Structure 1
Amino acid sequence: MDLSFVASGFAVGLLVGMTGVGGGSLMTPLLTLLFGVVPAVAVGTDLAFASLTKGVGTFTHKMRGTVHWDIVRRLCLGALPAALLASFALKHFGTLNREIGQVIRYMIATSVLLTVVALLFKRKMLAWITAHPERQLQGAALRNATISCGALLGILVTISSIGAGAIGATLLVMLYPRLTAAEVAGTDIAYAVPLTAIAAAGHWWLGSIDWTLLLNLLVGSVPGITLGAYAARAVPERLLRGLLAVTLVAVAAKLIW
């Protein structure tokens, strides 16, 4: 048991519990920058981590009736084929050579910055779309936009392990502004389970999952998420999200430069 990885899992779990932001935007950069884990291995291990933890979350939301399965199906229609294609592309180009590793670093940085945008501007985006109902998509246009967003998320998640959390939730809010916060969270987690599972299976096939590292992260994250959920009540959400946004911007800059 490597205590440094257990501690990292605990720290990320704590932040996820307090902010609700997906662990990928925190865990993957942490493994890459702090511990020098090869980007592809960091991504693959985090995807396996996410598929297990999100499965538990989906069960809870299903019991509460906060999952819109019709939206989940639409997202999966785009996300799952995109994840498979992205896995084959990584296999073709090779995930462990230096050039592809650098591309993955840039993809991680891009996904982190998109997460920052989602963190800072989700409420303003929702306020705008609510104030302009004529801009809200309906019928076939809404279905096709959902499938397209699923495809985009499938590529981002498979290559960077980031996107199924804050970015996915923000897209859901924009497409389906009438969903409650609990329904957004439940639907976002539910579609992410098969997506992260397929993406993780692809990385297993590629040989880019470190199972020992995964176990260490799980040992730390479970108590971290639990404690963070309780601590969130005592810390102002705006302060937490602001600090997290600043941290993620610094992470993205480090990944690029």
Structure 2
Amino acid sequence: MDFSYIVSGFAVGVLVGLTGVGGGSLMTPLLTLMFGVSPSVAVGTDLAFASITKGAGTLAHRSRGNVHWDIVKKLCLGALPAAVVATLALKRFGALDEEINHIIRYSIACSVLLTVVALLFRGRMLNWLKQHPEKQLQGRNLTIATIAAGAVLGTLVTVSSIGAGAIGATLLVMMYPRLSPAEIAGTDIAYAVPLTAIAAFGHWWLGSINWELLAMLLIGSVPGITLGAMGARAIPEKVLRGMLATTLTAVAVKLLNA
């Protein structure tokens, strides 16, 4: 296996450590564009990668009391069944067929663009909600919206491996604007663990996980995430998010034109 996989895992790990988002948004397109990995295999391998790394992140956030388990439960009520249905759909239509790979490629590109929107406009959406508190969902409507958001994310993550990070966090900000950034991050990571695990199991069932590639990515990502987290406070968040949004936009354009 090429040593460049370890380097790629390290680079993505640093960016995730610095910004808190971008793992799937960068890793999956990187595997398909730079290394020529089949889109379905790239998605499956990245989901297994995410389930392991997010599991470690959940433990850290749980110890600090940053996880709202009631919200995690509601998200999972929508996300987990959606992941199963999406996996069965991929099985039914042939996850490794060339035509399905094209659909997955376009799904990845659309998910990346949604991540860019989430990165660029998350602050503005939060400010708007603070200025219009009457627009915030409450009670039963909030519960329904949370479950529905989970279903959308479950489908998106299973098909493209992208969406649980920036998109999920942005939806949480919109629905639960009173949560602190740390609580948003902790809750977002916690619900993503069972989601990515189920989706990864589904892709293992479909035969679209490269275990040797997964090991190489993990070897690089663990020290990368650690270094990125250590340097996160040294670089302004606005600069980091701008850099990430620019990179992701270029990735999406490349995927659409591939």
CA RMSD of aligned residues (A): 0.7
Aligned with 2:233: secondary structure?
coil
Q: What are the superposed Cα offsets for residues 105-143 of structure 1, whole Å, 9 maximum, x if unpaired?
A: 000001000000011010000000111010000111000
CA contact (8 A) 2:22 2:244 kept: no
Q: What are the superposed Cα offsets for residues 126-185 of structure 1, whole Å, 9 maximum, x if unpaired?
A: 000111010000111000000000000000000000000000000000000000111100
Instruction: Output the CA distance in 1 between the equivalents of 2:144 and 2:203.
Output: 28
Q: State the number of aligned residues.
A: 257
CA contact (8 A) 2:15 2:22 kept: no
CA contact (8 A) 1:22 1:164 kept: no
1:31 CA drift (Å)? 0.3
Counterpart in the other structure of 2:127 = 127
Q: What are the superposed Cα offsets for residues 184-228 of structure 1, whole Å, 9 maximum, x if unpaired?
A: 001000000000000000000000000000000000000001111
Counterpart in the other structure of 1:172 = 172
Counterpart in the other structure of 1:246 = 246
Letter aligned with residue 241 of structure 1: R
**What's the TM-score once normalised by structure 2's chain length?**
0.98
Counterpart in the other structure of 1:184 = 184
Counterpart in the other structure of 1:227 = 227
Aligned with 1:233: secondary structure?
helix
Query: Does residue 128 of structure 2 align to residue 102 of structure 1?
Result: no
CA contact (8 A) 2:76 2:150 kept: yes
Q: What are the superposed Cα offsets for residues 20-62 of structure 1, whole Å, 9 maximum, x if unpaired?
A: 1140001000001000000000000000000000001111111
Letter aligned with residue 216 of structure 1: M
Aligned with 1:86: secondary structure?
helix
CA contact (8 A) 1:66 1:186 kept: yes
Provide structure 2 residue ranges, at least 5 long, that are not aligned to the other structure. Answer: none
Instruction: Output the CA distance in 1 between the equivalents of 2:25 and 2:131.
Output: 30
Counterpart in the other structure of 1:91 = 91
CA contact (8 A) 2:118 2:170 kept: yes
Matches within 5 A, 1:8-87: 8-87=8-87
Counterpart in the other structure of 1:201 = 201
Q: Which runs of 4+ in 1 moved over 2 A?
A: none
Instruction: Output the CA distance in 1 between the equivalents of 2:22 and 2:71.
Output: 20
Aligned with 1:37: secondary structure?
coil
Instruction: Output the CA distance in 1 between the equivalents of 2:231 and 2:186.
Output: 21
Aligned-residue identity in percent: 73
Instruction: Output the CA distance in 2 between the equivalents of 1:112 and 1:249.
Output: 7
Query: Does residue 189 of structure 2 align to residue 153 of structure 1?
Result: no
Provide structure 1 residue ranges, at least 5 long, that are not aligned to the other structure. Answer: none
CA contact (8 A) 2:17 2:229 kept: yes
CA contact (8 A) 2:118 2:167 kept: yes
